[in-house]
Amino acid sequence: MDFLLGALIFNLTAAAAFSLWFFFYRRSEKKLPVPIDGFVDPRFDKVAQVFRRSFETGEETGAAFAVYYKGDLVVDLWGGYTNLAGEVPWRKENMTIAFSVSKGINALLVAKFVELGYLDYKKPVSHYWPEFAQNGKEDITVEMLLSHQSGLIGFDKPVRIFLSSSDYGAYLSLLEAQKPFWEPGSQFGYHIFTWGMFVDALIRKADPKERTIDQIFREEIAEPFGIDFFQGVPTSEQYRSVPRLYSQTLWQQRGLFFDKEVRKRFKHAITDINGYFNIAKTAIAEITGKNQNNLCTDYVFRQIPCSSFNGYGTARGIAKLYGIIANGGVCENKRLFKESTIKTFDQALLQGRDVVLGALMKLGRGLIIFDSPLGSKMFGHTGYGGQFGAGDLQNQIGIAYLTNNLAPLPFIDPRCIALRDTFYECLNTLKDNENSVQ
């Protein structure tokens, strides 16, 4: 307890000192004009006001927000700058790292493979990947792997993600040899980095054409349906990537200290007797807290496909994908998913407080289930820094938010929540008006 009290006093003192410095720094800082561009359907005009306000208050440096409603793009906003110096404005074609939003998108790819008959959720992973069946992993099913129940949250020794592109065979051998950190199926805990490492390998093993994971996504989903998203950025698209990432200051994060759920998660991180959080966050050798932002904008690193964190796209592209699904699964006379598959996307397999992050979660097959402000179910995924992509079947919505000014925690970001809630507020007003006319 003395340690925790000392740490709390130190953190509060540091936060107070930083806040004073930040206050005087911001007073002397030259204010830049806020470039906001894009389109908003007049029925949702309040969303544009909230988007602009986040830049005026300094919460945003660069960001994009998009919504599809009943198959139509009704919000498509981008603004701010790709660097803090304000030298380069965020443009329509700019894309940025989506972090764990990529997990949700590859969970949809798995669903596509299930429809095609290449995968079965109930079968063991080893049915498609025989070498996987060792060291306690023999009974892990595809469904368990997708829903963070496998216990494969990390490695005995952190794995270099660059190995996946330089020596894929050696990379697979490391995955195959790893033991679960708990009995598979006995509990669930968020697989921060390893989810995509194992799931992507499974998809590749099940693919009859033996394609790479980025090629599979591109050919099965992105190209046929015009989805502006990549699992690893190809050389031809590198010029569009936002060149810098930033972390919000302590002053900008101050509101989180008053959030009850955030405090519980901090407590979990400190008192985690199993050390699961530390195991999960150190799974990849190259990624540490000190170098993460710079590494994720590195030209070579951006090319590595790993759906745990390394997908890149536009908010428009992510919203379109979920919007197609929410609007029946058909776009330009082409069917992305059967209706029977779509109905499963917002169904939770398990819920509760996970053992890695200590977060309250509802999980489907690789998708997180959320409650919308109107009480409907949303399905999709959040990402580190505030990134977000989801669909709402009941209201026929696809929605996405991306930023280069990263918040400290996944699943909780006031900027995204404000935009989402404002959109739903406008939608509720729209529906009330429609009902009054009838």
pLDDT tens digits for 344-378?
Answer: 999 999 999 999 999 999 999 999 999 999 999 99
pLDDT, residue 7, reads 41
Q: How many CB atoms are located within 10 Å of the residue 332 CB?
A: 8
Strand 62-69 versus strand 246-247 pairing type: unpaired
Question: DSSP labels for 104-170?
Answer: HHHHHHHHHHHHHTS--TTSBGGGT-GGG--TT-TT-BHHHHHTT-S-----SSPBPTTHHHH-HHH
Long-range contacts of 79-82 (CB under 8 A, 24+ apart): 79/34, 79/35, 79/36, 79/37, 79/38, 79/51, 79/52, 79/55, 80/34, 80/35, 80/36, 80/55, 80/404, 81/32, 81/35, 82/242, 82/243, 82/244, 82/404
pLDDT tens digits for 103-158?
Answer: 999 999 999 999 999 999 999 999 999 999 999 999 999 999 999 999 999 999 99
pLDDT, residue 289, reads 63
Q: Do 404 and 244 form a contact (C-beta atoms < 8 A)?
A: yes
Q: Burial, 401: exposed, middle or buried (Cβ in 10 Å; 0-12, 13-18, 19+)? A: buried
Residue identified by tokens 């129940």 is 149
pLDDT, residue 107, reads 98
Q: Do 40 and 77 form a contact (C-beta atoms < 8 A)?
A: yes
Length of the chain: 438
pLDDT, residue 419, reads 98
Distance CA 95, CA 316 (A): 10
Q: Do 394 and 110 form a contact (C-beta atoms < 8 A)?
A: no
Distance CA 143, CA 92 (A): 37
Predicted structure pTM score: 0.91
Q: Which tokens is 266 given?
A: 């901090």
Distance CA 311, CA 306 (A): 7
List the chain residues with pLDDT less than 50. 1-12, 14-15, 18-29
Task: Tell me how far the alpha carbon of residue 98 is from its chain's centroid.
Answer: 6
Helix 315-326, helix 101-116: angle, nearest 10: 40
Residue identified by tokens 């925690």 is 409
CATH of domain 31-437: 3.40.710.10
Boundaries of every domain in the chain: 31-437
Q: What contacts 404, CB < 8 A, 6 or more positions away?
A: 61, 62, 63, 80, 82, 90, 96, 242, 244, 245, 246
Q: How many CB atoms are located within 10 Å of the residue 31 CB?
A: 9
**Residue 149 CA: distances (Å) to CA of 27, 192, 195, 311:** 49, 13, 10, 23
Distance CA 45, CA 423 (A): 9
Q: What contacts 222, CB < 8 A, 6 or more positions away?
A: 228, 229, 230
Distance CA 168, CA 310 (A): 17
